[in-house]
Structure 1
Amino acid sequence: MLSVTMDRGTRLFDMLPSASISHIAIAIFAILTIQWIVTATYRIYFHPLRHFPGPKSAAISPLPLAISLFNGNIHIYLRDLHAKYGDVVRVSPEELSFIDPSAWKDICGHVTKTNHDSMPHKQWERYGRSVNGSYTLLNAPDVHHTRMRKIFNPAFSDRALKQQEPLFIKYADLLVEKLKQSLEKDPERKVDMVRYYNFTTFDVMGDLTFGEPLHMLEQNEYHSWVNIMFGGIRIGLTILGALYYFSIPNILMKTLLLKSKTVMQKRLRHFQYAVDRVSKRLDKGRESKGTDLWDFVLGQEDGKGLTRGEMDSNAALFMIAGTETTATGVSGITNLLLTHPDIMCKLVHEIRSSFSSSADMTMEALAALPYLSGCLKETLRLYPPVPSSLPKITPPAGSNICGHYIPGGYTVFLPHYAAYHSERNFKDARSFVPERWTGDERYADDKKAVLQPFSHGTRDCVGKNMAYHEMRLIIAKVLFNFDLELCPESANWADQRIFTLWEKKPLLCKLKVAY
């Protein structure tokens, strides 16, 4: 039957004069060309965002932005656009990128009753949903986010971090122990510090989130769950993020990707692991020592806590947000110190002269070291763990951002990497200069307020204080106990692509025990 139908269609097609076929093709091409010209003309000369600077190609189509996102070089693309066009750039027909420090307040500032209708809000379609459909701190509407934030805030407070300090020290010391053991076996061994830092941060967050580590430091290998997690970030966030700009392919590809057996299996395995760990932790009940998240969550009054689904979805989120980003920060500062030996010497001197032994280090004492603080801030400027920024959309009434009125329904954002690498904000913007954060008058005019690596406002990272303490502790323990030398293979380590997070390469070093 099918062959008969195809034969009839072929005969009908053959009956058409060749001139008619060419006329149809020309007509279709002409219609598409006219449509493109009309759309391009409107977007360049009549669109509500027409007054904002930017390349004509970006005003006409989101294709350049989507390609840079898909290729992993969006941070360079946006940096170069701002260098050419200024503090605000139209990066696609309906998107504006800002690098002025005041944009943080205007885009991500605290929402009040008086400014509620004029503050940009999240583009929910870009944030995805949890496997079980429950909200997380990342994708919850304001009312649910406020409720969750009140529950989790005590778990990340200074008081809680002080209680949890032995846990952080335990794994930082275990990191040092495992590095020493590897050197005992082979003193000339090239050590991948990225790998060891990941082991450490995942073990810390596993213990903090589930009451037990992933045992990656002990076993010296990645947990299978972590490998699934890394793959899911690239597929789930980056590829679908690029496809967002093209409605028909976006719908088609989302359907294909999310229904794909392989992709769905990875998502479900990742989520199920979190569910199983949460169940195991909840079976223990509330513990008096108060050293993990669930001691605080379970201590909430009846009716004001999290649902079980929210516990599962947030646990899965914490295992991504509280691990990879922290390991990235420590990897970044290690690389920058290794490629700037004079700065390395100054920091090592500060650390080793401040403590008689590694055991004397406390989070409070490390936070008081000025040069360590300057090195860490400068690292987060040059190599922010989350280099792009989460977009928001202006409300129907529109928003005023950096003195510009933006009509309702348009996307606005502040990209970390582009803002931090701009000479408009920092003198010697591409140089590693910790002294800019320690009072050096040469950098008095830097717009330091633009540095917000953990975002800004009511939706900033709930664990930012924990991340700072953890990064300081890990790098201080390593530099106190070891002399590091960068291997030639990792000379260009910082040349990386971005797929939501940095695509880190091995950071190969030779270590020598300092004491």
Structure 2
Amino acid sequence: MAPNIAFSAPYAAGVALLCLLYFVVYPVVVYLRDVKGLRRFHNMTPLSGITAIPFMILAHGGARSTYLSKMHKKYPVIRTGPNTLSYGDLRAIKDIYGHNTPCTKDTSYIITSGSHYHLADVIDRQDHSRKRKVLSAAYAIKNLEEWEHKVADKTARMIKHFDKCCTAPLPAGQIPAPEDVNLDYRTWTNFFSLDAIADIGLSEKLGFLDRGHDRITGRRLDGTKYECNYRECLYQNARKQSLLVWPYAWYPFINKVANIIPFYGRMGKLGRDWDGIPLELSHRRLDRYRAGEKLDDFFQALMEDKGGKPNNLEWGEIVAEVSIMMNAGSATTAIAMTNVLFQLLKNPATMDKLVEELDAALEGDDLEEEAVVAYDKVKHLPYLRACLDESLRIFPPTPHGLPRETPPDGINIMGDYIPGGVTVAISAFVAHRNEAYFPQADKFIPERWLGEEGKRLQPYFLAFSAGARGCIGRNISYLEQTVVLASVLRRYRFALPSPAFELERLETMNWLIKDMPVKIWRRRDEGLGE
């Protein structure tokens, strides 16, 4: 035994020394050498210029953009990691995200992608242009309005459940009885967004609104199937990435090793379950396509162009596009729907003004016969759109800064040269809380989006990102948000459990929002809206 002990002690000491040199000494030396000249920027913490660990710790707190927003009131540029800069000055938006920017999506999109890139994570410009050309027809506003009947169908199914939850009107100044707070608006609008995007994209009837739960079948690569909860798999997968991705070079290793810890292991298991959901949905739709069904949906646009010519995409690419559609196409819209009703309930004068606009536009409509408001009747209402945009401003569904990498030759950002290979970003949450552009930024003021002032603010509105890589699904989101909000406010009144109620938000890549329980009653029962 003695020889082994004698051998293992120097070996262990050598390993410890190597670890010290690699993980401590080397990063410090790189920081002091400062080849890229980033030491001139304010560090988020004293260690942020040396390691990504402080940002990982901040991510675990679930409010990193809120923290950065406070720091950016004092510092226009913050070094959040050894090679990462966060901007708070909105003049940088054009340089980082504008149509002519030479910046590209950074390494984080590569290390979190699957076997094939989808439109949201593809980095190569030519490949992005190819994908955008294939998908732009599917996302065009003309097609979306032709698909309005699918949105209307899901709205009607949601209203059917809402009607069952209705109670007696709440007298002014009173707090709802606990037993009357029987509707979780957050959950049911999420069921809506999932059912809607599955129908628009795949002509798939998930039936979450009918069943009142989100159990779904997933498929493993070997063809075996399993049952899981859609929302839990989707959101916990994103949460794990948001906690661990920041030291890019080490993420693949950390992501696997972390599964040993139950906290991360559970999220990892749910992430693998998520991967099988779009795979199963894609196989179902492919079977229908092969059977000769020509369906007016997103999948059809993936398979063929408008003239019926096959696009000949690889199967992995098709599944990747279905995956991002079912992810981004449902999560952010549901978050937005919850946020806007919450803000309106917290600001009753604004609610009354919006309801007045809706009632005037829909005067004469029979609420019993036409429970779902037609998009064409309300899509141009200025105050309705202002309320949606102000809610998206104050709590953008994707709050974190979408990371971009500077080109090899570097770039001038706000006239300041930044070398190549540096990750730069502006958080939508940070941008939207900038008092120089959005006075009283913490307050819900839809009026700021009206008239010429509203037009002036549009370049600084990052809820859907900006430039050539802006969200291709924004038209779908506005369609769904507009129809749902107009329909429910025309038909119902709502009340939060108490005036002090606040939504619980946890920042991942998007917000994780907990339940929003409300009391609901019909407007007709208080003599209004007929």
Is the structural similarity TM-score above 0.5? yes
* Contact 2:304 2:311 survives alignment (8 Å): no
State the Cα distance separating 1:248 from its structure 2 match.
7.5
User: What is the CA–CA distance in structure 2 between the aligned matches of 1:282 and 1:165, rounded to whole Å?
Assistant: 22
Cα distance in 2 for residues equivalent to 1:144 and 1:306: 12
Give yes or no for the alignment of 1:503 onto 2:524.
no
**Structure 1 residue 152 corresponds to structure 2 residue 135:** yes
When residues 206 and 284 of structure 1 are mapped into structure 2, their CA distance, relative to the original with a 3 A threshold, is farther
Q: Is the 8 A contact 2:278 2:326 kept in 1?
A: no
Change (3 A) 1:284 1:103: farther
Offset of residue 283 of structure 1: 3.3
3-state SS in 2 of match to 1:85: coil
Q: Distance in 2 between matches of 1:331 and 1:197?
A: 7
**Equivalent residues of 1:54, 1:85 under 8 A apart:** no
Q: Give the TM-score taking structure 1 as reference length.
A: 0.85
For 1:292, the equivalent position in structure 2 comes to 297
Q: Deviations over 1:198-228 (max 9, x none)?
A: 1111111111122122101111112336965
The 3 A distance-change label for structure 1 pair 438 and 61 is same
Match of 2:72 in 1: 82
* Residues 1:491 and 2:486 aligned together: no
Residue of structure 2 equivalent to 1:458: 468
Which amino acid in structure 1 is aligned with residue 61 of structure 2? Answer: N
Q: What are the residue-to-residue correspondences of 1:216-255 with 2, within 5 Å?
A: 216-224=208-216, 228-233=229-234, 236-246=237-247, 250-255=251-256
Question: For residue 93 of structure 1, what is the aligned residue in structure 2?
Answer: 82
After TM superposition, give the deviation of residue 189 of structure 1 in Å. Answer: 4.5
What is the rounded CA distance, in whole Å, between the counterparts of 2:22 and 2:272 in structure 1? 44
Work out whether residues 31 and 82 of structure 2, in 8 Å CA contact, stay in contact via their aligned partners in 1. no
Write the deviation string for residues 154-197 of structure 1: whole angstroms up to 9, x where unpaired.
Answer: 11212101211111111112211211023379993521000110
Structure 1 residues 174, 69: CA separation in 2 closer, same or farther (over 3 Å shift)? same
- In the alignment, is the contact (CA less than 8 A) between 1:70 and 1:239 conserved in 2? no
> Residues 354-503 of structure 1: matches in 2 within 5 Å?
354-355=361-362, 356-357=364-365, 358=367, 359=370, 361-439=373-451, 447-488=457-498, 491-493=501-503, 495-503=504-512
Match of 1:279 among 280, 286, 300: 286
Deviation at 1:54, TM superposition (A): 4.0
CA deviation vs aligned residue, 1:18-48 (integer Å, no higher than 9, x gap): xxx99x99999899987676555445xx751
Q: Within 2, Cα distance between the matches of 1:206 and 1:25?
A: 52
- Is the contact made by 1:190 and 1:487 (CA closer than 8 Å) also made in structure 2? no
Structure-1 separation of matches of 2:164 and 2:328: 30
State whether residues 182 and 518 of structure 2, in contact with CA within 8 Å, keep that contact through their aligned partners in structure 1: yes
SS in 2 for 1:314: helix
Instruction: Give the CA deviation at 1:351.
Output: 1.1
Aligned AA (1:315) = V
In structure 1, which of residues 55, 70, 83 is the aligned counterpart of residue 60 of structure 2?
A: 70
Task: Describe the shift of the 1:325–1:284 C-alpha distance in structure 2 as closer, same or farther (beyond 3 A).
Answer: farther
C-alpha distance 33-404 of structure 1, shift in aligned 2 (>3 A):
closer
SS at match of 1:488: coil
d(CA) in 2 for partners of 1:12 and 1:187? 70
- Contact 2:232–2:270 (Cα < 8 Å) also in 1: no
Which of 98, 102, 116 aligns to 1:109? It is 98
| 1:11-30 alignment runs, 5 A limit | none
Query: SS of the counterpart of 1:146?
Result: helix
Moved more, 334-343 or 47-56: 47-56
- Number of aligned positions between the proteins: 489
Contact 1:490 1:507 survives alignment (8 Å)? no
Question: What do residues 68-96 of structure 1 show as CA deviations (whole Å, max 9, x unaligned)?
Answer: 1232111112111211212x222222111
- Contact 2:118 2:320 survives alignment (8 Å): yes
Q: Deviations over 1:304-347 (max 9, x none)?
A: 45333322221121111111111110100010011111111111
Cα shift readout 1:447-482 (whole Å, capped 9, x = no counterpart): 442112111122211110111111011111111110
Structure 2 counterpart of 1:59, one-letter code: G
Cα distance in structure 1, aligned partners of 2:511 and 2:271 = 24
Q: CA 1:362/1:394 → structure 2, altered by over 3 Å: closer, same or farther?
A: same
| Aligned-partner SS, 2:165 | helix
Greater Rg by CA: 1
**What CA deviation, in whole Å up to 9, does each residue of 1:212-255 have, x standing for no partner?**
22101111112336965544455544434443444685343233
Q: Tell me: CA distance 1:30–1:469, structure 2 relative to 1, closer, same or farther (3 Å).
A: closer
Secondary structure of 2:42 counterpart: coil
Q: Which residue of 2 aligns with 1:210?
A: 202
Q: 1:317 aligns with which of 324, 327, 334?
A: 324
Counterparts of 2:21 and 2:477, CA distance in 1: 57
Q: Using the alignment, how far apart are the partners of 2:3 and 2:17 within structure 1?
A: 25
1:178 maps to 2:190? no
What RMSD, in angstroms, separates the aligned Cα atoms of the two structures? 3.4
Q: Deviations over 1:90-119 (max 9, x none)?
A: 2222111123334232112224xxx7xxx1
TM-score calculated relative to the size of structure 2 = 0.82
Secondary structure at 1:152 match in 2: helix
Choose which of 143, 146, 151 in structure 2 pairs with 1:168: 151
Name the CA distance, whole Å, in 1 between partners of 2:28 and 2:259.
35
Aligned 8 A contact 2:237 2:274 in 1 = no
Contact 1:70/1:238, CA 8 A, preserved across alignment: no
One-letter amino acid of the structure 1 residue matched with residue 137 of structure 2: P
Deviation string, structure 1 residues 265-301 (Cα, Å, up to 9, x no partner): 41443243233333244235453xx642134334415
Classify 1:184/1:219 alpha carbon distance in 2 versus 1 (closer, same or farther; 3 Å): farther
Indicate which of 325, 337, 350 corresponds to 2:357. 350
Q: 1:232 to 1:391 in 2, by over 3 A?
A: farther
Where structure 1 has 5 or more consecutive residues not aligned to the other structure, the ranges are none
CA contact (8 A) 2:167 2:519 kept: no
Tell me the amino acid that sits aligned with residue 279 of structure 2: Q
- In structure 2, which of residues 491, 500, 521 is the aligned counterpart of residue 512 of structure 1? 521
- C-alpha distance in 1, partners of 2:134/2:270? 32
The one-letter code matched in structure 2 to 1:135 is Y
Q: Per-residue displacement from partner, 1:372-429 (whole Å, max 9, x unpaired)?
A: 1111110000011111132111111001222221100100111101111121321001
Matched-pair contact (CA < 8 Å) for 2:233–2:273: yes
* CA distance, structure 1, for counterparts of residue 90 and residue 293 of structure 2: 43
Which string of whole-angstrom CA distances, capped at 9 and with x for unpartnered residues, describes residues 122-170 of structure 1?
Answer: 1244344555x12211222322221221121111212101211111111
Counterpart-to-counterpart distance in 2, 1:124 and 1:102? 24
Task: Find the aligned partners of 1:409 and 1:294 in 2 and give their Cα distance.
Answer: 36
